[in-house]
Chains A and B, each alone.
Chain A
Amino acid sequence: MLTPPKYWREIPQRYRLEAAKCAQCGKVFFPPRLICDACKGEEFETVVLPREGKIVSFTEVHTPASNFSDEAPFAVGIIDLGNELTILAQIVDCDPGEVKIGAPMRLEFRKLQKDGESGVLCYGYKAVPAR
């Protein structure tokens, strides 16, 4: 169940793609974390993820979990944003032929799921072809 605080906490990442850059070694983390695994630094500055990337791998989900029952089938992929940053996102607004490994994509702000009949409307990023 997605309660408002659980949802609200992640808004900077889901709406604005806010990441954390280690002040000591420059490694970028999405989502932000409290200690850098590369240099053990604990100071970070907020940076915004690039919105353009390439497909690393993809699939089309035909049997979703209960909270996505109305959406299937839908495509999901891992998107490489460069600089060792990768995220997982749904892939939308494209023909099946356009979804392939290496294809250029752009992240956009979209509605993702509705948690229950009267639940929270959940938003986030989805990938669309960068034409």
Chain B
Amino acid sequence: MRDVAVIGVGIQTWGELWEKSLRDLFVESALNAMKDAGVDRIDSMYVGCMSSGLFTGQEHLASLLADYLGVNPAPAARVESACCSGGLAFRMGFMDVASGMSDIVLVGGVEKMTDVDGAAATYALATASDQEYEAYNGITFPGLYALIARAHMQKYGTTREQMAQVAVKNHENGSTNPHAQYPFKVTLEQVLNATMVADPIRLLDCSPITDGAAAAVLVPLEMAKKMSKGPVIKVAGSGHATDTIALHSRKDITFINSTAVAAEKAYKMAGVGPKDIDFAEVHDCFTIAEICVTEALGFFEKGRGGKAVEAGKTAIGGEIPVNPSGGLKAKGHPVGATGVAQIHEVVNQLRGACGKRQIKNAKRGLAQNMGGTGGSSLVHILEVV
């Protein structure tokens, strides 16, 4: 297996981008990544997208996007694993380069979510749960995470305030991110008193509906050493794991086992442990998700994630900064794009290019992306070599 490096990343400012189509979103980010990498051709590409069919009526997506990017007949594949489709696309690109099959691989993620109304978007997102035994009974994604939250509160004493602290921290971080959909700060009171979505989860505990795309260019490490103008960033570890997609089928609904298993694999490949990670971008689709994920990644013991955010351990400048970009919460969550956008942030942090939200001496970053309530998880570790 060859060592692999990221030599370019691209994104746009996310939001409700009514003037931009699915294909425009993707091509804009892909071109930004290719310019950043300094490449004018690619050998293959992978696109993560959860549900272009339900959101826009478009399938057969990879070929369409390759056409509009002007790279036909390059091989192009769309991969889907709900909200971690982007993380999965990144892993496919990593495997393609590592195997020696391709040298220059473009990895992208995209979701165009605002061509349908809110209830239709909620329906499309609910297809990431078990259609026959979860969604059939009327449960939604905020509802499923509410079940996790209430169980976590009961089992470990996690509080509403601790959950709200995740939103306050991530909006604080995202307030200076030029690509964020909601770059504003929120107060604890605002989060605690926001509109109820699925008790105990309120509106400001949820990541938003977003249009957006992100992209990255992967090449063999040896090629990156010749091409890179700045720090050379190696993909040190990659892990991928699955679990039941039905939340109720799990023995412990408060522990995201697929993330724990994917992290174990990524740590092993990179030859490091949770203590060696300088910062992490994690899948805070809901505030409780970030708490559970920081436990599954081994940053904190089971049940201590809520107390950790309350103590400021996950803030920029804390023990292990989590979601310096603002996370899904402030940056937005165009589901298929999220996993690749996390890589965008990790790369820019490692380059020291994050301005006010820059983490000092960031040398090794982790990205964790998950599908549904954790039916699938991807963990990647990137480091400066």
Contact = CB atoms under 8 A, between A and B. Distances in A.
Contact of A86 (B120, B143, B201, B248): B248
Contacts of B123: 65-67
B68 interface: no
Give chain B's interface secondary structure class.
helix
A76 B138 CA distance: 8
Contacts of B251: 84
A56 interface: yes
Contact of B138 (A31, A58, A84, A112): A112
B138 A57 contact: no
B198 A65 contact: no
B249 interface: yes
B146 interface: yes
State which size class the interface on B falls in: 35 or more
Contacts of A112: 136-138
A121 to B, nearest CB: 13
Interface of A: 10, 31, 56-69, 71, 74, 76-78, 84, 86-90, 101, 112-113, 122, 124
6 contacts: A60-B196, A63-B142, A65-B122, A76-B138, A76-B139, A88-B133
Nearest to A60: B199
Interface of B: 118-120, 122-123, 126, 132-140, 142-143, 146-148, 150-151, 154, 195-201, 246-249, 251, 253
B147 A78 contact: yes
Contacts of A124: 136-137
Contacts of A62: 195-199
B139 A88 contact: yes
A61 B143 contact: yes
B120 to A, nearest CB: 5
Nearest to A31: B133
Contact of A88 (B146, B195, B246): B246
Contacts of A87: 133, 248
